[in-house]
Amino acid sequence: MSSKRVPRYLEKLTPAPEAVRIVASRVKPVSETCELPVWEAVGRVLAEDVRAPHDFPPRPRAAYDGYAIRSSDTPGRLRVIGEATIGKIDVKYRVEPGTAVYVSTGAYLPEGADTVIPEEAVKREGDYIVVDKQFPPGKNYDPVGAYARRGQLLLPRGYVLTMLDVAGLLDVAVTRVKVYRPVTVGIIATGTELFEPSDPAEAEERILRGEVAETTAKLVEWAIEKYTPWALVAERVLLPDNVDTIAWYLTRQMRGLDLVILTGGTGPSDVDPFYQLAEKLGGEVLFRGLFVKGGRPTSAMLLPDGPLVIALSGHPVSALHGFIRLVYHVLKHMGSVRRAAEPPLQAVAELVGDIRAKRPQQVKVRLYRENGMLYAEPLPLERQQSSVIVSNVEADGIAVVENRQYSRGERVPVMVYREPEERGSGGSPG
């Protein structure tokens, strides 16, 4: 087997948006679907539009705690004949002339009532209420179909279902949804120097001997579970830097998965293991290296009759940068996602300091709030190095910037992984 030799810099760096387009053009989204109870479908991707199965509410429903009455009886003194509570559509009372029924918010109105008087708008005298002004019909209740009309679009195909969606759908009697199957993912951490920590004392001793505790693959797994819940990590393993071993795992143990992510061993060298792996498996290299700083060795190949393989940096934050720029968007494509529930970059912060970026990169930042504004203060340059992993604990998030100069006061997107510090009001930031 010949080895493709490359220089210690990568041959061609691909911009991340182009890399996403390349992968999307070669990899089909999952198409298999199943029907689930809506309460079991949180995090899954809707495979068809969700529409209201009924007019809802099916009967008028009280919008306030108060009294269901006939508007023609107001003003006047009315006898309270009973109570209608939420949870029952059949109300045993009927409002006749001169009577009222107490209703709680959300209760269905009894027959005969055409308006609701809020509790605080009447005077209660034993079994009677006194209404001192005229109330018109149609007040303070929700009519039939006020929440949703039968056939009304509630959620479109491609949305990721949230728990708030579940609450809303169940409120109008949507109990089942059709969803796509999860995108299946395997993660292989590579590195002869790595070990899986288990015993704290042993781990401390091994780290002081020069070994490295494996954390990057765990970080990628965490990111997938948090930000792409429609993807399922089926397996995560630690393997030595051995092309034959990795190839065996890819073609045997993980062959049936949709995506396999490699962490570590991705940097170029005199003999490039990524190209070796592609040659051995007959894989097609889609791109080798991203035009970014932090995660530059990020690459992808397509195996014949096998999974898509994405290789990420072995450095934790650089791998996370590769996840944000590439893997997240690839998983959206593979999962048929139109709108995700919780994207990694949800916040925007004002910079406290300058950033000069020659390539798109991630910047470790401290975050704080002042006067309702979120501010991002970059760590010193020497703490930004990917090899200084301990500086992760000094940051509260990472800013994701493009290849240009940013000045103090500009706003940048940030991934927040720790609650920002609250600072006092007044004065200028920083």
- Report whether 101 contacts 82 (CB < 8 A): yes
Mean residue pLDDT of the chain comes to 92
pLDDT classification of 311: cutoffs 50, 70, 90? very high
Asked, colleague to colleague, whether 33-55+147-180 and 347-422 share their fold, the answer is no
- For tokens 């060298």, name the residue: 269
In words, the CATH class of domain 347-422 is: mainly beta
Q: Which two tokens stand for residue 257?
A: 């998965």
pLDDT classification of 76: cutoffs 50, 70, 90? very high
pLDDT classification of 8: cutoffs 50, 70, 90? very low
| Mean of pLDDT values over 186-206 | 95
Q: Return the pLDDT at 72.
A: 96
pLDDT classification of 10: cutoffs 50, 70, 90? low
- For tokens 């179909």, name the residue: 145
Task: Output the CA–CA distances (angstroms, integers) from residue 363 to 53, 172, 230, 313, 343, in the order listed.
Answer: 48, 45, 28, 16, 18
pLDDT classification of 220: cutoffs 50, 70, 90? very high
Q: Which fold has domain 16-30+182-334?
A: Molybdenum Cofactor Biosythetic Enzyme; Chain A (3.40.980)
DSSP three-state, residue 141: strand
| Mean of pLDDT values over 147-154 | 97
Alpha-carbon gap, residue 430 to 427, rounded angstroms: 9
Strand 259-263 versus strand 308-312 pairing type? parallel
- Report whether pLDDT(388) > 90: no
CA dihedral sign of residues 245, 247, 248, 254: positive
| Mean of pLDDT values over 156-178 | 97
Other CB atoms within 10 Å distance of the CB of residue 113: 25
pLDDT classification of 181: cutoffs 50, 70, 90? very high
Q: Return the pLDDT at 269.
A: 57
Query: What is the secondary structure of 32-83 as a DSSP string?
Result: -EEEEEGGG-TTPBBSS-EE-SS-BSSS-EESSSEEEE-GGG-SEEEEEEEE
Q: Return the pLDDT at 430.
A: 52
- Each domain of the chain, given as residue ranges in start order, spans 16-30+182-334, 33-55+147-180, 61-142, 347-422
pLDDT classification of 384: cutoffs 50, 70, 90? confident
Q: Which two tokens stand for residue 134?
A: 């005229």
- Report whether 39 contacts 151 (CB < 8 A): no
Q: Return the pLDDT at 248.
A: 93
Query: How far is C-alpha 138 from the chain's CA centre?
Result: 41
- Report whether 330 contacts 310 (CB < 8 A): yes
Alpha-carbon gap, residue 323 to 224, rounded angstroms: 9
In words, the CATH class of domain 33-55+147-180 is: alpha beta
| pTM summary value | 0.88
Strand 373-378 versus strand 421-422 pairing type? unpaired
Alpha-carbon gap, residue 213 to 246, rounded angstroms: 20
Phi then psi for residue 342, to 5 deg, are -145, 80
Alpha-carbon gap, residue 404 to 402, rounded angstroms: 6
The CATH number for 61-142, chosen from 2.40.50.100, 2.170.190.11, 1.10.10.410, 3.40.50.300, is 2.170.190.11
